[in-house]
């Protein structure tokens, strides 16, 4: 959602994890396709120092005490459940909450697309 909503001249998002899976969970691919986002060819990637270089803000999703630390970056942890193996209705609720949080973050930071 972030890269579709944010002005690319102001901000962009990269998705990575501390323990990425081999593939995006099928239930996530399915519910994201419902809102026009195709993740069929997306591949999870590991959060590395190189990938995190220059990060302004890192949003983590429910990692609690295991949240990574990137020196110099602000961090927000959104306490969201892992969608893996959950019923599609619950995955949709998680998706919709992420969309709302992303929209709020973009508005608060002044990163909204114009025009």
When pLDDT is averaged across residues 11-28 and rounded to a whole number, the result is 91
Among 65-79, 86-100, 101-115, whose mean pLDDT is lowest? 65-79
Residue 112 has φ and ψ, to the nearest 5°, of -65, 145
| pLDDT score recorded for residue 114 | 84
Is CATH 3.40.50.2300 correct for 2-109?
Answer: yes
What pLDDT does residue 66 have? 78
What lies within 8 Å, CB to CB, of 44 at 6+ separation is 15, 16, 17, 20, 21, 22, 23, 24
pLDDT on residue 63 = 82
């Amino acid at each position: 959602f972030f890269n579709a909503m944010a002005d690319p001249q102001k901000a962009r998002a990269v998705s990575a994890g501390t323990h990425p899976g081999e593939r995006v969970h099928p239930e996530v691919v399915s519910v994201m396709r419902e809102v026009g986002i195709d993740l069929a060819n997306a591949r999870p990637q590991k959060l590395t120092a190189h990938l995190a270089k220059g990060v302004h803000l890192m949003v983590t999703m429910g990692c609690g005490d295991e949240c990574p630390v990137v020196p110099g970056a602000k961090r927000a942890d959104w306490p969201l459940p892992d969608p893996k193996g959950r019923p599609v209705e619950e995955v949709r609720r998680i998706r919709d909450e992420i969309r709302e949080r992303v929209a709020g973050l973009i508005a608060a930071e002044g990163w909204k697309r114009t025009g």
